[in-house]
Amino acid sequence: MAFDRRLPTGADRRVPATPDRRTPVRRDDVPAGDTGSFRFRSNAYRSTQGEPVVPPYPSRVDLHTHSCRSDGILEPMELVAAAAAAGVQVLALADHDTLAGVRELCAPGHAPLPLELLPAVEINSVARGIPQLWEGELHILGLGVDLHDHVFEATLERQRLFRVSRFDRIVDRLRQLGYPIDAQVDEMLLAHGPASGASLGRPQIARCLVAARYASSVDDAMQRLLVRGKPAYMPREGLGPVEAVSAIRAAGGLPSLAHFADAYDRRELVAELANSGVGGLEVHYRHFDRDTVADLAGVARELRLVPTGGSDYHGDGETYAEAHAALFVPDEDATDLFALLGRRHLTIRSEASSI
């Protein structure tokens, strides 16, 4: 399915009167189209503030990226080209609730890719009943899923429909608050609507708020209006963690718990997830400091989880090269992952040796 959000027209699109509220003032100091930084993502996932990881060599592996088929800003091929230019040899495109970008890159007749592409997806599972989770969610990466699994695609399509519903409710709420962004949403959908199977999310809404000059950056829009506890927040609907893990397993993929800095302190929760089928832990997230990476590596060893890692690149306020400079994923992460998925032997080229 495409971005098939149905927009109200005519009188329905007028901003409701708000006599008890001062109409928000547009931030005219913001250049049109400036999406600003994307810091909310690292803050929301508890970016750790200790000694940073210093890559011993440029990372040749990135197992967590996003394109504009979900909430990134680059076309899938643009992302692949940028990653290859940065020296990445194994890339997982893990858009939220969609494999559309991967399918485009793997379509018959598509030009050969300059790197090894791993089909992947990220599912924002709704973790009801689990206390003290940011926004009540656990994000599960599905690495190496089968592109031709029709049951899994039907599951993702249901997830995307939930996203459309939530997107509409947030846009409606913003209109009620005096932040109408219908014109900006129309423009965004027109630009990306033809992409079959693409999915919607709050980052697109944040960019529309920036384009409408109601926010100075994506981070500003998220923190003031869109994250949990803020005026335009709407709860997510969809799969729970165990359901997401089961769906990924059934599609032949490895479920990996993404950017969970609390894994060391919440080993019992991670152990429960492992017992439910989680087989990987994102140890090498680029916003984690050295101690956090070491702690999570210990959890992965203890629970026999494959350590994975990636940039979680979306593109707001930074190039892929800038994101890649802060990333280190050991070569063996990719070789171990490919072995676990039963794939062919993977050769990662380095100046000194092949791994």
Torsion from C-alpha of 46, 322, 317, 138, nearest 10 degrees: -30
* pLDDT one-digit tens code per residue, 184-229: 999 988 876 556 788 999 999 999 999 999 999 999 999 999 999 9
| 154 located within any domain | yes
Tokens representing 240? 């729970």
| 286 located within any domain | yes
Number of compact structural domains in the chain: 1
| 10 located within any domain | no
| 45 located within any domain | yes
Report how far apart, in Å, the C-alpha atoms of 88 and of each of 34, 91, 112, 348 are: 28, 7, 15, 10
User: In terms of pTM, does the model score above 0.75?
Assistant: yes
Q: 226 is in which domain, residue-wise?
A: 25-340
At residue 16, the pLDDT reads: 33
Q: Which of 56-70, 189-203, 259-273, 282-296 has the lowest mean pLDDT?
A: 189-203
Angle, CA 285 vertex, CA 280 and CA 287 arms, to 5°: 155
* pLDDT exceeds cutoff 80 at 335: yes
Residue with tokens 């997982």, as numbered in its chain: 92
Query: How many angstroms separate the first and last alpha carbons of the chain?
Result: 40
Q: Give the mean model confidence (pLDDT) for residues 297-318.
A: 96
| 231 located within any domain | yes
| 8 located within any domain | no
Q: Element (H or E) spanning 122, and its range?
A: strand 116-126
CATH of the domain at 281: 3.20.20.140
